[in-house]
Structure 1
């Protein structure tokens, strides 16, 4: 997996919000004006909010004590984003057919990587792996016992690929714990799977 020694990884905050806004596009809001609200609010509320309200909601989260994700920054420009938070921050996941939790741990101790977004021009260059590693570190530092994701085994469009590739997650030590859809395994990393050590070449 490629290394990016020139990258820094920063949590989204009030200070780094302008970097995310530039990455997503102030009007575009990443894919179709989502602003990473897809898993955080009900479908009816998501549709009723509109792009501006979704943007405002994410900006409010950026000012909270618990950052909603990690930015990959190169030469003062954000080139990638990984949304990661406690499972309890994503109520829609609980009702999702493919991503519903396995009820074996407190949802406060399970963190979830819900979205990856890479700037045009940097896609298909192996940036997802370092972003996921940084997201895992971020979650562990905040008390996570495990980190989950529900990536895709194949994506034909960037919109389908926002959840990440299952192969990339597997390379980083995530293991499949359930599959309710042919293309969407539920995967989990725990402290015993060796991601942090392996990712650093130990």
Structure 2
């Protein structure tokens, strides 16, 4: 099997959309909730969410990476400088643990039919490598560590075990809660 991961630039936008919103439903998540304030999303209206993400893909730091297995888009990882992720910048629940200009992972999506095959872990490795190639000194993630099975609908913040598999270490916990569990702060240093 061939494997590739690339930033979601305009030429890869359709592949990204095939992973997170294959039917292009207007009210479906476009992974904007952390990148734009709710008021900005509301101003866009449902029909313009796709265009907003397209505009994000044109930035110097696109909103994340898309992974391919044998040329088929199979996964999405929202990763970028924390300073460019509006919700994290303003968050009183997921506060910075120090002054390191980290990149943050806020969402992971594996396409149906490709789950439980190691796609997420492989994609996370590539996402971390991508951040390192762009000068990130470290990458943080904010997963949950549920005692049982976590409620997974489509996208998720990941689990402690998943991030440990790619070298992340627990740095603390946040005041944010997901699936009724506190979210952790995990980091992988790249320097």
TM class by smaller structure: 0.7 to 0.9
Out of 150, 166, 169, the residue aligned to residue 163 of structure 2 is 169
Does the CA-based 8 Å contact 1:110-1:146 persist in structure 2?
yes
- How far is 1:43 from its partner? 2.5
Q: Name the CA distance, whole Å, in 1 between partners of 2:88 and 2:135.
A: 20
Out of 137, 159, 163, the residue aligned to residue 145 of structure 1 is 137
Q: Which residue of 1 aligns with 2:190?
A: 191
Q: Name the CA distance, whole Å, in 2 between partners of 1:151 and 1:50.
A: 29
| TM-score under structure 1 length normalisation | 0.81
- How far is 1:97 from its partner? 4.3
Structure 2 gap segments, 5+ residues each: 176-180
Alpha carbon RMSD of aligned pairs, Å? 2.0
Q: Name the CA distance, whole Å, in 2 between partners of 1:138 and 1:151.
A: 20
Structure 1 gap segments, 5+ residues each: 193-202
| TM-score under structure 2 length normalisation | 0.85
Verify: 1:56 aligned to 2:51, yes or no: yes
- How far is 1:113 from its partner? 0.7
Aligned length, in residue pairs: 182
Q: 1:100 to 1:54 in 2, by over 3 A?
A: farther
More strand by share: 2
Correspondence list, 1:20-99, <5 A: 20-23=16-19, 24-28=21-25, 33-99=28-94
More helix by share: 1
What is the CA deviation profile of residues 103-126 of structure 1, one whole-angstrom value per residue up to 9, with x for unaligned ones?
A: 332xxx310011111111111222
Q: Which residue of 2 aligns with 1:117?
A: 109
Q: 1:100 to 1:52 in 2, by over 3 A?
A: farther
